[in-house]
A = this chain, B = another copy of it.
């Protein structure tokens, strides 16, 4: 649709050499980078499920998060972010203020990550706020990080630390795009996934796709201070480690690499990427997840995390 808000938006999107036809037409036309593949992902965020607008969550933060989670998916493919399209359904009440806040959050992150805003769709209704962002990236042919390539013997490397994201990091997503590109340039990553729904749940997905078993060394899981804070809240019965394994929305990367590569990555990668890197376990033949205690004993690890359910 075209409205004063869309006109206002279009004036703010700078020209970009990647766009042969800029936003404002029936569709945008992208010049795909020569000899690269196009990587596309879409994620939808809904009010009440992914965020609750209010004093603790502005529409600017929602805009940031909506783009951030999509860029995190591109990072998990080892892809260079190029462009994004933003579809939004605004509540009729206060829609204009919400729309401007969303734009600020999106535009700031887009500029920081060097992507062009290539199009979108703006709607209004009497329901809650819904955002759907489509992020477009590029990778050299055959170089995308898939989740199904982990091999028995690989070590599992994680960026950052985990748990307690609900205390604020679930909104202030920092997609690991730059770190992913630095790593992709130097290391052969066999498989990758980003942790959106839970460290153990997303690792289980990688293992299922790869037809392998993941061994998590519990003492090596990097625990975020927020996980400690959350476990100390009144009524919280979970340990910091349990928060780290199951909270989700950390938007860190899990990578599977051959042992020598993983060791080299952890030894050199922190300086390269500016982000903490840890070996959290290994891949072996089999299926599912195993937790390894510091004394070497192993037990099955049920995947924990967030599932979007709907009734039959």
Chain A interface residues (CB < 8 Å from chain B): 1-3, 5, 20-21, 24-32, 37-44, 46-49, 73-74, 76-77, 79, 83, 85-97, 99, 118-128, 130, 132, 134-137, 139, 141-142, 144, 146-148, 192-194, 197, 205, 209, 307-312
Contacts and interface: CB of A to CB of B under 8 A. Distances in A.
Nearest to A88: B44
A39 B44 contact: no
Contacts of A79: 27
A119 B31 CA distance: 21
Interface centre among A21, A127, A132, A144 (most CB of B within 10 A): A132
A49 B90 CA distance: 12
Given A121-B42, A124-B308, A25 B88 contact: no
Oligomeric state, in number of copies?
A: 2
Contacts of A194: 26
A42 B134 contact: yes
Q: Which 8 A-B pairs have the closest CB atoms?
A: A95-B310, A27-B41, A132-B132, A124-B310, A26-B76, A44-B87, A26-B73, A30-B38
Nearest to A85: B42
A141 B20 CA distance: 8
Nearest to A77: B27
Contacts of A121: 42-44, 132
A146 B27 CA distance: 9
